[in-house]
């Protein structure tokens, strides 16, 4: 079922209003929705099954037939601090991290970061929003402004992981009761990886150094694999 994302202000009683131009075009022209057809809407907290009752040029109205609580997010918030990657790789990472259910993406500057970005790109939110629609998610992924590694507050997390090639045998699955925690963070470095001094800094902060296997993974691959493994332990 086609999905759209709306704000809470778009919901008035049992009527839901779609007024985003792209969504209207998608519903009317790509999916050829007519009066009586159904579509799915989410507002970041809940999911709504709607029936089209009005198709206008600037708005589509749907009657809410069923409302569901968020069934597609993990009970534990899993965040990633991701070293800034080149454009297409960053976009791919954001897309796939949204699909698997990551709660927050923290773009990160490190010593080996090639890309220099001081402000969050609007495209990142667009990529994440489109991925959320595709994967039937409900809650938007928070993408923060780029920050330095040492400025990330680790104290708010129950456990923090760093996948690193020097951690043979120590796997995420060795850590029990992840599903009982509230917040988990994991670090993924940029294309060139982390500098040894950064790894030592994170170790001193109590970060758990873990392995993703014997192969050296690209940053965007490691981000998706590590996130998938953590989420698999808590679903």
**Closest C-alpha among 32, 52, 54 to residue 41:** 52
- Indicate whether 46 and 133 sit together in one domain: no
State residue 159's pLDDT score.
98
- Indicate whether 156 and 51 sit together in one domain: no
Per-residue pLDDT reduced to its tens digit, 194-228: 999 999 999 999 999 999 988 889 999 999 999 99
**Closest C-alpha among 235, 68, 233 to residue 161:** 233
State residue 116's pLDDT score.
82
- Indicate whether 147 and 202 sit together in one domain: yes
- Indicate whether 58 and 26 sit together in one domain: yes
The two structure tokens encoding residue 190? 């940029």
- Indicate whether 44 and 15 sit together in one domain: yes
Structural domain range at position 97: 77-234
Mean pLDDT, residues 91-110 taken together: 97
- Indicate whether 135 and 199 sit together in one domain: yes
- Only one residue has tokens 């699909």, namely 99
- CATH number for the domain spanning 123: value is 3.40.1280.10
Collect contacts of 121-126 with beta carbons under 8 A, ≥24 apart.
123/91, 124/90, 124/91, 124/94
Length of the chain (residues) = 235
State residue 8's pLDDT score.
94
Strand, coil or helix: what is 105?
strand
The two structure tokens encoding residue 90? 């960053």
State residue 74's pLDDT score.
87
Last residue of a domain, one of 69, 94, 122: 69
- Indicate whether 212 and 134 sit together in one domain: yes
- Indicate whether 210 and 102 sit together in one domain: yes
For residue 49, the surrounding DSSP H or E stretch is strand 46-55
Say yes or no to pLDDT of 168 above 80.
Answer: no
Q: What is the pTM of this model?
A: 0.92
Last residue of a domain, one of 69, 91, 109: 69
């Amino acid at each position: 079922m086609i999905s759209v994302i709306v704000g809470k202000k778009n919901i008035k009683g049992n009527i839901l209003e779609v007024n985003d131009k792209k969504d209207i075009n998608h519903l009317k022209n790509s999916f050829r929705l007519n009066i009586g057809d159904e579509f799915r809407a989410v507002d970041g907290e809940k999911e709504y099954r709607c029936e089209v009752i009005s198709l206008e040029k600037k708005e589509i109205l749907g009657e809410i037939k069923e409302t569901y609580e968020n069934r597609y997010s993990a009970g534990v918030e899993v965040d990633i601090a991701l070293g800034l990657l080149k454009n297409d790789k960053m976009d791919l990472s954001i897309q796939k991290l949204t699909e698997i259910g990551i709660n927050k993406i923290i773009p990160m500057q490190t010593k080996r970061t090639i890309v220099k970005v001081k402000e969050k790109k609007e495209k990142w939110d667009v990529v994440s929003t489109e991925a959320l629609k595709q994967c039937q998610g409900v809650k938007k992924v928070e993408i923060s402004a780029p920050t330095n590694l040492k400025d990330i507050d680790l104290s708010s997390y129950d456990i923090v992981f760093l996948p690193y090639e020097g951690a043979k045998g120590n796997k995420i699955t060795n850590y029990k009761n992840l599903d009982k925690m509230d917040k988990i963070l994991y670090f993924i470095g940029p294309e060139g990886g982390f500098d040894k001094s950064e790894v030592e800094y994170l170790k001193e902060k109590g970060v758990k150094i873990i392995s993703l296997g014997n192969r050296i993974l690209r940053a965007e691959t490691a981000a998706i694999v590590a996130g998938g493994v953590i989420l698999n332990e808590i679903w």
